[in-house]
Amino acid sequence: MLLAKDGYDLILADVDAEKLQKTKTEIASSFPSEIQLIVKDLSLCNVAEQIFKATEGKNIDVLINNAGFGIFGSFIDTDWEREAEMLNLHVVTTTHLTKLILKGMVARGSGKILNMSSLAAFQPGPLMSLYYASKAYILSFSEAIANELKGTGVTVTCLCPGQTKTCFQEVVSNGTKASDSKIKFNIGCAKEVAKYGYEAMQKGKVVAIPGNFNKFLSKLPRFIPRRTVTAIIRKIQEKNRDC
């Protein structure tokens, strides 16, 4: 919606054709943007190349890597096939699509990239080990290439929200509603988080953390031993599970 409001044409990619069409209808009812839909499972290998080919001939001015999901449980008990899909989505697809689209942006001397990470990126996360690790990758990757791209006219922003009220928790908790099963303190509004990230991207900010309390939490691991931080996260995760 924010991109359409500012006059951008849109290319939306997701595995859920019905939700894509619903989103297109909602946007088209308010804005005259041209909207292309690409129905692809972003957790599959080589899907980035398929998406890039589907946009052939179009200059991509803004890339937003937003898709993601989490898996809760001890690493020895969780399902590897599902974890591999998550790693493909968070790490491989995000990285590959960024690489493919970035070359055109640099050649034109302009472009903006927004990668979705999380407050989880700043510390290890027992009981969601691969999720936390993959978000740390996105943060590190984004900061590194943002530095490499200085002077090119292309910027990279990494959005790192804390808990946000979306369907994310339903996936993590196997369909249990987040509002019924998770801690309610410090949960952000999805629209406000999106607006914050969008504005940070437009300003070329490298790391964007919405909310003063989340900013404070992101800095804590600098002053507390990592094993202590890890133990605290473990207790929070266990409390979430038992709620």
Whether 116 maps to a domain, the answer reads yes
| Helical spans, DSSP H, in 35-93 | 47-54, 80-87
The number of domains in the chain is: 1
Residue 91's closest CA among 48, 134, 141?
A: 134
User: Which value, to the nearest 10 degrees, does the dihedral of the CA atoms of residues 16, 13, 135, 113 take?
Assistant: -160
Whether 16 maps to a domain, the answer reads no
β-strand pairing of 154-159 with 35-39: unpaired
DSSP state at residue 30: T
Whether 31 maps to a domain, the answer reads no
Residue 5's closest CA among 210, 209, 194?
A: 194
Whether 149 maps to a domain, the answer reads yes
β-strand pairing of 154-159 with 207-208: parallel
pLDDT of residue 36: 97
CATH number of the domain residue 129 falls in:
3.40.50.720
pLDDT of residue 242: 60
Contact 3, 57 (CB under 8 A): no
Whether 24 maps to a domain, the answer reads no
Q: What end-to-end distance do the CA atoms of the chain give, in Å?
A: 34
DSSP letter for each residue of 44-104: STTHHHHHHHHTTT----EEEE-------S-TTTS-HHHHHHHHIIIIIIHHHHHHHHHHH
Rounded-to-integer distance, Cα 45 and Cα 88, Å: 7
CB-based contacts of 96, cutoff 8 Å, min separation 6:
48, 49
pLDDT of residue 241: 66
Whether 185 maps to a domain, the answer reads yes
Rounded-to-integer distance, Cα 178 and Cα 171, Å: 9
Averaged pLDDT in 10-residue chunks for the chain of 243 residues: 95 97 96 97 96 94 96 96 97 98 98 97 96 98 98 98 70 44 64 96 97 92 92 86 60
pLDDT of residue 130: 98
Whether 192 maps to a domain, the answer reads yes
Residue 73's closest CA among 14, 128, 148?
A: 128
Whether 42 maps to a domain, the answer reads no
Range of the domain at 181: 60-242
